[in-house]
Amino acid sequence: MTRMIHCLRLDKEAEAMTKAPFPGPEGQRIVDHISKDAWAEWLKLQTMLINEHRLTPFEPEHKKYLAKEREKFLFGGGSEMPEGYRPPE
Can you give the residue ranges of every domain in the chain? 24-79
Mean pLDDT of the chain: 90
| CA angle, residues 64, 67, 73, in degrees to nearest 5 | 140
pLDDT given at position 61: 96
Q: What is the pLDDT of residues 55-65, one digit of tens each?
A: 998 999 999 99
Confidence of residue 1 (pLDDT cuts 50, 70, 90): confident
Mean pLDDT of 31-41: 95
Higher pLDDT, 13 or 89: 13
Confidence of residue 29 (pLDDT cuts 50, 70, 90): very high
